[in-house]
Amino acid sequence: MWKSIYRYSLIAAFLVSTVASPAWALDWRDPEWTDLGCPSRLSGDWFPSTHSPYAGLKIEFKTNGAALSSKKYSDMFFAFYPNRKGEQFLNLKRVSEDPASFPRYLKIRPHIAVQSISEGKRYTLCKIKVFLFESKQKADQMSYLSWDIYSTIDSNEVRNGN
């Protein structure tokens, strides 16, 4: 009997630790993010550093939302909408109609902040994770189509030595 109880308690502990782990993500106010100079409010241009089906989109954050642009997709505008209490994501909904094939909802959270020294200069690289959703219901369930990592530095410029 004790073996069965021990075995079931191990299984329950494993399930709880693997299912209930969203707290591992950075928050906009975490010292690991803010102490290195990463923004508590997104602004300016952010560039993809991963290669999902939607990679290549530059995101320009503005006070009322975000503009996405690329060679493949025409310019799109996403407006901010409120998140659930305690959620660390910034939520955006596409307000421009074209293209219909592009996901309508985005959620963004801090991903990682790294500081490095090159040629005597200190650089901070702030990266965000952008999740793409086809509907608000899917966004609420975190059932995403794709995700990308974005940073303030264009990786294509770095590769080309600019």
Whether residue 1 is contained in a domain is answered as no
Whether residue 139 is contained in a domain is answered as yes
What letter would DSSP give residue 136? H
Whether residue 110 is contained in a domain is answered as yes
| Parent domain of 106 | 23-159
Contact 77, 67 (CB under 8 A): yes
CATH number at residue 43: 2.40.128
pTM: 0.72
What's the confidence (pLDDT) of residue 160?
Answer: 41
Whether residue 154 is contained in a domain is answered as yes
CA distance to 20, 91, 100, 122, per residue, from 6 (Å): 21, 42, 53, 51
- From the list 102, 92, 96, 91, the residue with the least C-alpha distance to 134 is 102
Residue 92, judged by CB atoms within 10 A of its CB (0-12, 13-18, 19+), counts as buried
Whether residue 104 is contained in a domain is answered as yes
What's the confidence (pLDDT) of residue 17?
Answer: 39
Whether residue 18 is contained in a domain is answered as no
The dihedrals phi and psi of 155, each to the nearest 5 degrees, come to -65, -25
Whether residue 131 is contained in a domain is answered as yes
Whether residue 4 is contained in a domain is answered as no
> What is the residue type of 137?
Q
Per-residue pLDDT of the chain (162 residues; tens, 9 = 90+): 555 554 545 454 444 433 333 445 788 888 888 888 888 778 888 888 876 666 667 888 887 788 877 766 667 888 887 766 666 788 888 887 766 677 888 899 999 988 888 888 888 889 999 998 999 899 989 999 989 898 887 554 444 444
What's the confidence (pLDDT) of residue 87?
Answer: 65
Count: domains in the chain = 1
- From the list 125, 111, 103, the residue with the least C-alpha distance to 57 is 103
- From the list 20, 47, 33, the residue with the least C-alpha distance to 109 is 33
Q: Reduced to 3 DSSP states, what percent helix, strand and coil does the chain have, rounded to the nearest 5?
A: 20, 35, 40
